[in-house]
Structure 1
Amino acid sequence: MANPAAESAKTRSDEPLHQRIRSDIEQRILSGEWNPGYRIPFEHELMVEYDCARMTVSKALSALTEAGLLERRRRVGSFVRQPAAQSAVVAIPDIKSEIEARGQAYRYELLSMRRRRASKQDRERIAVPTGATVLAALCRHFADGRPAALEDRLIVLAQVPEAAHIDFRTEPPGGWLLRHIPWHVAEHQISALNATEKIAAQLNIDTGSACLVVDRQTWRLGAAVTAVRIWFPGDLQRLVARFTPSSTTPDAPGRR
């Protein structure tokens, strides 16, 4: 009788099996199903579960060890380490949650979505090879009926193939990615820019109005997952960081 886990892994996408095993384990770790200190199944158990060779399992575990998610102990097994990026998850806000936390009514609108080959401009935003396929989404977030954010996002479908089947007309892509797709490294760039005529029209503000602009990229095991540029009307935003004289990094960064 075929093993269900192996069949699922083999049919889920066109990824090599070792990458799909890695993704399964990675998801269990970063979702909290397997907590720090948990001993994951032995290699021979994973070989049976996925109906594959030891080399395939070992390659997946090695990648997770290099990413800092596993600690492999000879003759003892592989154990979950505290993910280095786990504490950074809170630094990537969910716009819907932020708006509702302020007691405001949230509404979302998908303006456009297109699956396409990455253009030269796309590749300048996110490190993907020529010919890579991306999902490009433009959406708008409202707070109490007023446009509060304009989100311009690229999702790399080689890393997130399931995104091609999500109905982003009803679910914001940023929130969906936070809940379902693990990542290891994120980079933020924050700018103060004046709204162009097109941006101003989308945000219902005057052309040239000051905006807070956040450019963010995330990576998973060294591969780009998503890049997003979010425009916020300047009068709705404040950057706040609390720290002490002895601290070298902000204690509680946030955007308000």
Structure 2
Amino acid sequence: MPTPQITQPPLASGFAGRWADEDEEMEPAPVKPRASVGVAIAPPPSLQEPVEVAPLFPAKPPAAPSNFGSSVAAKIMARYGFKEGQGLGKQEQGMASALQVEKTSKRGGRIIHEKEILASATSPVVENPANSQQSITEIIKNPSKVVLLKNMVGPGEVDDDLEPEVKDECNQKYGEVTSVIIHETQAENHEEAVRIFVEFRRIESAIKAVVDLNGRFFGGRQVKANFYDTEKFDNLQLMD
């Protein structure tokens, strides 16, 4: 029997053959070793460089001396040869400090001269008259039915209508009034020149009148109200 022959299939032609040749010539790409995976450890604080952190609120620049006025005014005065502590002019008789502005409203202001600043700094402190007056708690410790009103009117202002007006007003607001006496003197102190005495039927009405009238303003005057001794009032001793 004839020996069978093994035939190889013909190589593909065209694109198929080209890709076949290239596949035979291509070599596998080398595989890169995979880097070992680990946990990153930060260096100790002693080896780290300090990081400067900017402050949240930067420091303010040093302010100019307050007695030299505002910086703008100081610069203008410096153009005319002004030196701090010396006055303007040939004989140094002018201003010795820059002008300052006092804010009087949202969009307005007032220029303050150095004379006003010196005057306010050297002027004596005047005690508030309201603080020197007797407090209402001290007044009502010794109440009576007679109320003495001072500084309600000034000297020469007493007329025929004043007595009925005071009586009607006190009757309506505080309680029944028994009598009203107006005593005008020649005292130099205008607050003591006219004394108005109001006698109430009940002591509670007198207390209401003193609490309400003391310190109130009447015709531009601040009224002083106090209790008066009933016995002295009955004896017409009206200057104590």
The reply to whether TM is greater than 0.5 is no
Taking structure 2 as the reference length, what is the TM-score of the superposition? 0.24
Higher radius of gyration, 1 or 2: 2
Taking structure 1 as the reference length, what is the TM-score of the superposition? 0.23
More strand by share: 1
